[in-house]
Chain A
Amino acid sequence: LAKTTQPISMDSYEGQEVNITCSHNNIATNDYITWYQQFPSQGPRFIIQGYKTKVTNEVASLFIPADRKSSTLSLPRVSLSDTAVYYCLVGDNTGFQKLVFGTGTRLLVSP
């Protein structure tokens, strides 16, 4: 089971870049890395996914080194509305029980 480890919480200020790193030392060859974002009183929502190298979309970038034992979610120029919990997940084409959300990283963005 590819367990993930990420910081419990992070603080930032508006306009700064935020990088959240997730460790997944036991990642398997077929595993993808997926990040979800959860705002207060809402369900999580998918923000980005990658297998290796770098992925970028309108919300974030995901950096994955060659050994894939970790990944970094990068949020450019955060705003107050980016205050949320961010989950790093590792999963492949097998059963969903392998997909563990856990407690995520609580990001607080201040003015």
Chain B
Amino acid sequence: DAGVIQSPRHEVTEMGQEVTLRCKPISGHDYLFWYRQTMMRGLELLIYFNNNVPIDDSGMPEDRFSAKMPNASFSTLKIQPSEPRDSAVYFCASSPGGNSYNEQFFGPGTRLTVL
């Protein structure tokens, strides 16, 4: 398996624009996670899905952020409108198990810069 795939790897956009980040989890993994990483706050969990259903989105910073998982092999994280403070590295991860001690497999991340 190729691992978790994320696209794009880098995104530069202007404030106010819509940004869509994409993720393909490892086949057979029932759990998918979206994280945001910044120097100040470290790695934060934004939302996670189980069998394509959002389970907990309490980490999503505000209504400008939304995430979907239309099928088992694809998820998106959308920011609309984007703001400079959204600049960060966004990671997608997947896991075969539903316990928080189960190993999570991370993608390479998308580095987002909002000007």
Contact B91 A43 (CB under 8 A): yes
Chain B min CB distance to A3 (Å): 13
Q: 0/1 per residue, A79-111, Cβ < 8 Å to B?
A: 000000001000111111111111110000000
Q: Report the interface size for chain A: residues with CB under 8 A from the other chain.
A: 25
Give residues in A with beta carbon < 8 Å to B.
31-32, 34, 41-46, 49, 87, 91-104
9 tightest A-B CB contacts, nearest first: A43-B106, A91-B100, A103-B42, A101-B43, A32-B101, A93-B99, A46-B103, A99-B100, A102-B42
Chain B min CB distance to A35 (Å): 11
Query: What CA separation (Å) do A15 and B74 show in the bound complex?
Result: 43
Q: 0/1 per residue, B1-17, Cβ < 8 Å to A?
A: 00010000000000000
Residue numbers in B under 8 Å from A100 (CB-CB): 45
Contact of A97 among B59, B98, B101 (CB under 8 A): B59
Residue numbers in A under 8 Å from B31 (CB-CB): 96
Total cross-chain contacts (CB, 8 A): 69
Contact A91 B101 (CB under 8 A): yes
Residue numbers in B under 8 Å from A99 (CB-CB): 45, 100
Query: What CA separation (Å) do A102 and B43 show in the bound complex?
Result: 5
Residue numbers in A under 8 Å from B104 (CB-CB): 44, 46
Contact B106 A44 (CB under 8 A): yes
Q: Which residue in chain A gives the minimum CB-CB distance to B92?
A: A43
Query: What CA separation (Å) do A61 and B31 show in the bound complex?
Result: 28
